[in-house]
Structure 1
Amino acid sequence: MRAVIFDEFGVRPEVRDVAEPAPPPGGAIIRVEATGLCRSDWHGWQGHDPDIRPPHVPGHEFAGVVTAVGADVHGWRPGDRVTAPFVCACGRCPACLAGDQQVCERQTQPGFTEWGSFAEYVAVRNADVNLVRLPDELDYPAAAALGCRFATAFRAVVAQGRVAAGEWVAVHGCGGVGLSAVMIAAACGARVVAVDVAPGALALARRFGATVCLDGRALPAPGAVAAAVREATAGGAHLSLDALGSHATCAASIESLRRRGRHVQVGLLPAAQGRPALPMELVIAYELELRGSHGMAAHAYPELLGLVAAGVLRPAELVTRTIDLAETPDALATMDQPGPGGMCLIRPGGA
């Protein structure tokens, strides 16, 4: 099969022929119809994830068709249309048995612990735990958009953030996960402040329901972004998300909160970049709540898929660019630069 593969961290990947995967026991092989290009893939290529050992094929949010299943798979067969969360759970550890597969103690992650979906085929372990059946009306690009960023944003806003209608929600960083959070929070009846440095990303945030859009380039002084959010929300956001993953956006998100506000960290903060200095004096004085959000378990997808089927949430509108495998190496290499906003999808088959 054709795949995007890198042999060294930070060295431009190549598209070349590699062996097709075989279905692992309990697992399945998926023909990849669409897969998202995510900032997490850039982090992996840069060597920020300790689980990756080159040579490596990135890619972790995908949708496609089951082509083969391994022994002891009971719920799936070739021809099924599926997606999967980026955390593939074991289904047997204490976290999984408690329903928290997104923090499985023995998790695997296509594109990180395993070869991923920047290829014509990808393997998924523990298929009965991890595969999600796609409704007929949901096409592959929209389903691939759910796989990491949209599903992660949904759980971050709804479950971890406990958003309520009428609340102010600040979203710091309007890439794929940030724009997803904007759309989801607005659909829940919240008022959203979107923060980014790219005019195109802010335009999309407004289109998807942001009440206020703040251009970070106009607020370069330390603390200026947080002050602007507090002013726009008459005292601070009830819920704030760092959807980018940087020391600056993490601190700004916490500083944007009103008393007893809630911060959810969604963007990755790799250990290789050091640990951020957080305003813990505000956490104590304002009794702030800090939470992480690490994807969403497969069993939680039906609620999200129902809202998509009803037209309340529209992940397909977040897709602003579609490329093929040949274009992927250059696109991956520029993921750390401000872009036009929205999501970039890869169609391995070129369709």
Structure 2
Amino acid sequence: MKAVMFEAFNERPKLVRVPDPSPEPHGVVLKVEATGVCRSDWHGWVGHDADIELPHVPGHELAGVIQAIGKDVTKWKVGDRVTVPFVGGCGDCPECHAGHQQVCHHQFQPGFTHWGSFAEYVSIHKADLNLVALPESVSFATAASLGCRFVTSFRAVVDQGKVAAGQWVAVHGCGGVGLAAIMIADALGANVVAVDIADDKLALARSLGAAITINARSVADVSGAVIEASKGGVHVSLDALGHPETCFNSILGLRRRGKHVQVGLMLADHSTPIVPMSRIVAHELEILGSHGMQAHRYDVMMPMILAGKLRPERLVRQKIGLEESIDVLMAMDKFQGAGVTVITRF
């Protein structure tokens, strides 16, 4: 099969031919029809993820058709259209038994713990637990955009933030994660304040439901601007970028007893950010994380997509070929362009 592979961190990946994968007894092999290019892939490429063994094929936001199944798989058949969360559970640990596969003790992640979906085929483990059926009306490109950024935002807004109608929500960073969070919070009836440094991303944020936008380069005090816009601070704030500055601003923009949800990854030099602990204690703020979403929670999100209340297809701004993904991946740290880029040609 054709695949994008890198043999050393921070060196240019190559388009190569490698053997097709075989399904594990409990797994399947998918023919990849679409896969997103995400900043998490960039983190892996530069060496921020300890799970990666070289040489490596990246890619974790995917959708496709089952090509082959393992002997122990009972719920799926060849030809089924499916997608999968970027975090898969083992099914045996205490967290999996409690339904929290997104924090499984023995989790797997395509494109990190094993070769991923920047390829014609990809192996997915524990298929009966982790696969999600894809309705015919949802395109492969749309489904691929769900796999990491959209579902992580859904869990951040709905399950962790517990956003309710009429609340104020701030989203710091209007990349794919942030734009998804804005769309979801707006669908729940919240008033959204979007923060970014790029006017084109803020314009897209407004079109997706942001009531107020703030260009962080145009104000001296970002958190103060958020507090003023929300008349006293937001109930829930998301750092959708993953940077010490956006994390700090997100916490400071909360009203008393508000919730900060860390959605953007903070790795390497950013892994131990300074936080305003005196404010957290005095205002009884909550600090939460959001790490993907379980396959069974798609049953809550998918009906909203089918009803048109959520329209993740609006986030897909560019469709590219497999070879083009190399340059896009290497440039992910530059935050160029708005929306989500998806590989649809293999």
Question: TM class, shorter-chain normalised?
Answer: over 0.9
Give 1:234's match in structure 2, choosing from 231, 235, 252: 231
Asked whether 1:183 is paired with 2:191, we answer: no
Deviation at 1:25, TM superposition (A): 1.5
Letter in 1 for 2:341: C
Which digits, 9 at most, give the CA deviation of each residue in 1:118-145, with x for residues without a partner? 1111100000000000112111111111
The separation in 1 between residues aligned to 2:273 and 2:344, in whole angstroms, is: 36
Aligned to 1:208: 208
Give 2:253's match in structure 1, choosing from 256, 259, 264: 256
Q: Residues 257-276 of structure 1 correspond to what in structure 2 (within 5 A)? A: 257-276=254-273
The separation in 2 between residues aligned to 1:214 and 1:8, in whole angstroms, is: 39
Q: Check whether the contact 2:161–2:259 (CA below 8 A) recurs between aligned residues.
A: yes
Secondary structure of 2:334's match?
coil
Query: When the two structures are superposed, what TM-score results if normalisation uses the length of structure 1?
Result: 0.97
Letter in 2 for 1:295: G
The separation in 2 between residues aligned to 1:171 and 1:283, in whole angstroms, is: 19
Aligned to 2:148: 148
Which digits, 9 at most, give the CA deviation of each residue in 1:1-44, with x for residues without a partner? 11111111111111111111110120000011000011100111
Deviation at 1:338, TM superposition (A): 2.6
The separation in 2 between residues aligned to 1:20 and 1:82, in whole angstroms, is: 19
Deviation at 1:348, TM superposition (A): 4.0
Give 2:323's match in structure 1, choosing from 320, 326, 329: 326
RMSD: 0.9
Aligned to 1:84: 84
The separation in 1 between residues aligned to 2:96 and 2:16, in whole angstroms, is: 37
The separation in 2 between residues aligned to 1:330 and 1:88, in whole angstroms, is: 28
Q: Check whether the contact 1:32–1:348 (CA below 8 A) recurs between aligned residues.
A: no
Q: Residues 163-178 of structure 1 correspond to what in structure 2 (within 5 A)? A: 163-178=163-178
Aligned to 1:68: 68
The separation in 1 between residues aligned to 2:237 and 2:226, in whole angstroms, is: 10
Aligned to 2:313: 316
Asked whether 1:301 is paired with 2:276, we answer: no
Aligned to 2:128: 128
Give the total of aligned pairs.
346
Aligned to 1:158: 158
Secondary structure of 2:284's match?
coil
Q: Check whether the contact 1:118–1:348 (CA below 8 A) recurs between aligned residues.
A: no
Asked whether 1:283 is paired with 2:280, we answer: yes
Deviation at 1:271, TM superposition (A): 4.0
The separation in 2 between residues aligned to 1:208 and 1:343, in whole angstroms, is: 14
Deviation at 1:272, TM superposition (A): 4.5
Secondary structure of 1:331's match?
helix
User: Percent of aligned pairs with the same residue?
Assistant: 58
Q: Check whether the contact 2:227–2:254 (CA below 8 A) recurs between aligned residues.
A: yes
Query: When the two structures are superposed, what TM-score results if normalisation uses the length of structure 2?
Result: 0.99
* Structure 1 gap ranges (5+): none
* Structure 2 gap ranges (5+): none
Letter in 2 for 1:245: G
The separation in 2 between residues aligned to 1:12 and 1:256, in whole angstroms, is: 40
Aligned to 1:6: 6
Q: Check whether the contact 2:93–2:104 (CA below 8 A) recurs between aligned residues.
A: yes
Letter in 2 for 1:120: E
Secondary structure of 1:137's match?
coil
Q: Residues 25-36 of structure 1 correspond to what in structure 2 (within 5 A)? A: 25-36=25-36
Letter in 2 for 1:335: M
The separation in 2 between residues aligned to 1:69 and 1:139, in whole angstroms, is: 23
Which digits, 9 at most, give the CA deviation of each residue in 1:245-298, with x for residues without a partner? 011111111011011100000000114444100001110010000100001000
Q: Check whether the contact 2:243–2:270 (CA below 8 A) recurs between aligned residues.
A: no
Q: Residues 50-61 of structure 1 correspond to what in structure 2 (within 5 A)? A: 50-61=50-61
